[in-house]
Every structure is written in C-alpha cells, then in structure tokens.
Structure 1
Amino acid sequence: MDVGWTSAAVAVIGAVVAVASLVVTVVEGVRARRHTKFLAHHDHWWQRWSWIAERALSDDDTEQDAAAFMAHAVLTRSWSTPDDKWMDRALDDHEVWASNRRRKETHHDR
C-alpha cells in the first residue's frame, strides 16, 4: 500500500473514531442530564407530597385545609404527573377509609 493511502486511511479511521467518541459523549451527557432531572423531580415530588400527607392526616382542620389547597395547586400545574394524581387518590381513599372507620366506631359505641 502506498504511504499516501496509508496516511489517508489512518486519518479517516482517526476521524471516524473521533466522531464516534463525540456521539457517545453526547448520548451519555443527555442520559446523565435526564437522570439528574428525574432525581431532582423525584426529590421535589417526595417533599411536596410528604408535606401534603402530613397535613392531610392531621387532626387540625386548618392543617387539612392547607393540605387540600396544596394538593389542588400541585394537581393543576403543567408539570403534574400521573404519580401526583395517584397520591391524591391514595389520600382521598385513606380519608374515605378513616371516615368509615370512625362512623363504625361511633355506631358501635352506641
């Protein structure tokens, strides 16, 4: 093989490797950014719903009102997710269950 062709082949292979390396770096960067964004969203999600759940399960009516207000605010945001809706339903289900339990206890005590 001619030295010119060998040099050209090495240059082409080097360029292909460089482009492949760039593509891998970009793909990994996008993946890492997506993962970091997910973790940040999950952390904020947990903080919001922990705050809401604490107040929703409180015996204080003012705390329960604050939880209802915050849950409504979260659910009406554009970034609300199916997990937010699930958590709201879970709290509603708990409230129905607790109300039925209190009703049964009150009825049973009579």
Structure 2
Amino acid sequence: MLIRIDSDSPAAIFDQVAASVRSDIVAGRLSAGDRLPPAREVAAALDINVHTVLRAYQQLRDEGLLDLRRGRGAVVSASAAPLADLAGDIHRLVARAAALGVSPTTLASIVKETTP
C-alpha cells in the first residue's frame, strides 16, 4: 500500500490520505481484514502530523470502510468489500460521463443526490 499526497493540491491532506486508501480498496489492493500501517508510521513517511493521518482514518471509519480498534489499529472492514466489485461499474460511469462532457464535480454531485 502506497499512500500518496500532493502538497500542491488544494485538497486537505487528510482528504488526500483518505482518498488514497479508498482508491486502494476500490482497486482491490486492500481487502477486508487487511491492516493499514500505524498512523505514526504513515505520518513519519509522509512528513505530516500524526493527527492528520488519524483524521483520515476516522473519516474512513465514519464511511464504514475501516474498523479502528485500540491495540489492533486500522483494519479494512468487511463492508468495504463491495467497493472492489463496483470498480468496473464506476470506471464505465466515469468514462461515459467524460464522453458526454459531464465534469467530475457534476457527476459527483449527481451521485450524491441520487443516493437513497
């Protein structure tokens, strides 16, 4: 697992960390039961504050993608498994939207509004 951040990006660093982990789940590089590196290790490797990594992990927990347990750390939850199954559908939707000239921001808004 390789967490990527872009210091020139306008996105908050914790959002970038969360997006990187989410991307690894969707791509199947992380699956249910896999442990993420401790927040301190990630923070040291990326030269960022440990609380930034913890905030990203908490965001993913709130989304149902991680389980955070004292002593066990961050573990990909079983409810994350369907994301990898959706990867092909997501890629086709994004490609179709791009072909129709729909921006990623508009597509994300439509998906959010369509959520039951």
TM-score (norm 1): 0.31
Q: Which has the higher helix share?
A: 1
Q: Which has the higher contact order (CA 8 A, sep 6+)?
A: 2
Structure with higher Rg: it is 1
